[in-house]
Structure 1
């Protein structure tokens, strides 16, 4: 079996989980395929070969300097503190050597370093939600999509913050070695196999602020756990022990979105998971998510995702008997 070299770039202030998450995934491939030599040769390198201190205070000792590192199949750039003047040597190295890698990968704000090196021009990418606006502003030639947890554009793969690097690494293992290998690694790491790249960085609960008052927080949780229930303002107001008018105003003031918008996000999020992970029919999914009719769910999907439920399932259904498609 071909052994792919994965070169992980280390630098002062790197986010430790951006490094260790993907590394553990690639390292787990040896166990998954029953080959002690593994499908991947992992190598870490800093600019001068010296140890680096992570943003969390850990010290990482690289295998070598970047100058002495082996030519990578997959070049992985993790995130961390923004590019600083003293990092110009790293950016120059990426500019020279990045185009030679068969696969170019970034985790979190590692995308900013790739952009600095001119390696993302004309590409569709993502990064941590807090830095998407900055990336788009500083590099107008890059199409920045703030929503997905990871994006594939040709040989370039970029991911959102921190744990999204694990999702992307699992996707790359599945691409290289097949679904069963990736599933074995995910089970060992006790993570999902796998959140699709199109999944939003924020769930409905994370996208909204958490209400200050306990009755409103309880309503938020109720909506999430009962998407098929009566979630009208009147019904939710009764649950919150408020008048409908007072409830609607208080909910928006404390969560940052109207009750209707929150319900819509919860329902479409739930419907996406069912379409991705089950063989339930569209009509059954629409009932389970509180849409009432398949047509109501179709309108919501087209409005929010630009695709009908049937089209969405064709693209992202992940059950074993369905052939997967390549993410955009």
Structure 2
């Protein structure tokens, strides 16, 4: 069977339509699905065809808003809300236990939620909040759901885990290992913290595929640059690096390839379901196709992936076994 070649303008809706047969009957869990974000656009693309779409958010009211919007557009869709606050390990464990109790299998996990770019915050686990919410909590959530993911394996399907990263990972030389383990407000730079978390996402996808011996295919990706109504502190950081103008609007002259939310979610949907990616776990996607040539040297180094995995296990105090 031949499928179309995707481009920067391909939408998530189009990708899902292309692979409607592959999506049919699948359970897809997407973290961070507030109505103006990429996660919602991702869930929306899957909702029309999937067996079950699980949407998550910290706030029950915002989660309800997303659920109602999906049900209004796709009355036949099977959408299930799940309260998940990635800032709290207790919430991560509670949400994972809830998913593990579902009668349905879990085929695809999309780690999409991110922390707002902002000032230094030490969270309840004594970790810097950006790194913790963008990497450590998704790592723990994935670990807790791995047995359920593996149980969905069939001769024709290998479960997938997606980490939504960013080209921002190219803006830093690598990870400051000491600061990750021992956060220091004096060394905090909001944009750098975000970019380091995105490096971690790329490395996590590589190492998850490797450690599972390919039994879980994991991918990272750059969705493109999308205006999703960020909070004021995030906008401030984006102004500082020139992606937004001084008046807090998207800088359409910045060479960053602006996309709509539907276009931005396309790469996530492709990573999650495109059968042409089978056996290529660990790859990094841009514009819905593999773009490993756009990964930084640091994030391409398997030794760094191993070191990050080991450090993350130390931080959560648990081994991730298969």
Indicate the TM-score class for this superposition, using the shorter chain for normalisation: 0.3 to 0.5
Rg comparison, structure with higher value: 1
TM normalised by structure 2 equals: 0.32
Structure scoring higher RCO (CA < 8 A, sep ≥ 6) equals: 2
Q: Normalising by structure 1, what TM-score?
A: 0.32
